[in-house]
Amino acid sequence: MTEKYSTEINEKIAWFDKNYAEIKNRIAEASETIGKSSDDIILLAATKTVEPEVINHAIESGIEYIGENRVQEFLSKKDSLITSHRHFIGHLQTNKVKDIVAEVEMIESVHSVKLANEIDKQCKRIGKTMEILLEVNIGNEESKSGFSSEELEAALKEIAKLECVKVKGFMTIPPICENCEQICNYFNKMHKLFIDIRGKNIDNIDMVYLSMGMSSDYYEAILCGANIVRVGTSLFGRRNYN
C-alpha cells in the first residue's frame, strides 16, 4: 500500500482491487448464461463521492465507463480525471444542462421532453450531438422521475424530432425489491418495452442500450437483457450519500 494517499482513498482502492475481478467474473458468467459475450456488456462505474485518485486507479485497472450523478461534483472532479467514457446518470435539472453538455458523451437520465429540448438547445450551441437514454419509471413510483411506460412512445416521437439529440435506449432504476423474482419482473418489463419500441423502427431512434442493474442486482439485470450495468458500492465500498 502506498503512503501517498489518505486512508480513505487507500481503503477505496483496496476495496476496488479486491472486488473488481469478481464482478467481471460474475458479468462474464451472467452473459454466458444467456449466450452473450461479456464484451457485449458495459460495466459502468458509478463514481459519485469517489475521489479522482480512486477513479483514475479504476480506469487504469480496466474500467472504461464512468457515470456521475451531480453536476457540481462532476465539474469539480473532471479536470483531474484521466480519459474514459463519461456518462451522466443522476437527476438533471434543466438549468444545469448547459454546464454538462460539453463534458459527457451520454446522458442516461433524461426524464422529460422538456429536458431533452434543453439538451438539444445547448448541444446546438456548441455543435454537438448528445446520445441520450430515456429514464423509465418502471414501477410508477411517485418519488422517482422518468417516463411511465404509457407515455414513453409519444415522448419518443417528440424527442426524435430533435436535431442534436440521439436516443440510444432506456435506463431504469426499479423499485426496491425484497427478492429476485420481484426485481426480475421489473427488469423483464423493461426488456419487453425495449424490444417493442426497437421493433417499431421510429426514425432517428436507435435502440441499442438498456441500462439497468446496480450493485445488488446487476447479475439478474444482465440475465434479463441489460447491456449497461451501473455499479458503485460493489466497486468502491459504502458511501455517505446516494
Q: Which residues of this protein are in contact with ligand PLP, per CB under 6 A?
A: 46, 48, 69, 89-90, 173, 214-215, 230-234
Question: Shortest Cβ contact with ligand PLP: which residue?
Answer: 232
Shortest Cβ 209–ligand PLP spacing (Å): 14
Least distance from C-beta 90 to ligand PLP, angstroms?
6
3-state SS class at 160: coil
Specify the residue, 66 or 159, whose C-beta has the smaller distance to ligand PLP: 66
Nearer to ligand PLP, 160 or 175 (CB): 175
In the complex, the smallest distance separating the C-beta of residue 53 from ligand PLP, rounded to whole angstroms, is 19
What percentage of the chain's residues is helix, strand, coil (to nearest 5)? 45, 20, 40
227: alpha, beta or left? (left if phi > 0; alpha if psi -120 to 50) = alpha
Dihedral sign, Cα of residue 89, residue 95, residue 97, residue 103: negative
User: Cβ closer to ligand PLP: 162 or 224?
Assistant: 224
Cβ proximity to ligand PLP, 90 vs 139, nearer residue = 90
CB of 173 to ligand PLP, least distance (A): 6
> CA–CA separation, 45 vs 47, rounded Å?
6
Cell for 120?
438539444
* Cβ proximity to ligand PLP, 57 vs 90, nearer residue: 90
Least distance CB 98 / ligand PLP (angstroms): 21
Nearer to ligand PLP, 137 or 234 (CB): 234
Separation between Cα atoms, residue 160 and residue 158, nearest integer Å: 5
Identity of the residue numbered 120: D
In whole angstroms, how far apart are CA 96 and each of 66, 72, 105, 146, 153?
Answer: 19, 9, 16, 17, 26
CB of 203 to ligand PLP, least distance (A): 29
Give me the least distance between CB of 67 and ligand PLP, in Å please.
7
DSSP code, position 174: P
CB 44, CB 228: distance < 8 Å: yes
Q: Which residues pair with 210 in a beta bridge?
A: 170
Which residues lie below 8 Å from residue 143, measured CB to CB, with a gap of 6+?
Answer: none
Q: Which is nearer to ligand PLP, 47 or 162 (CB)?
A: 47
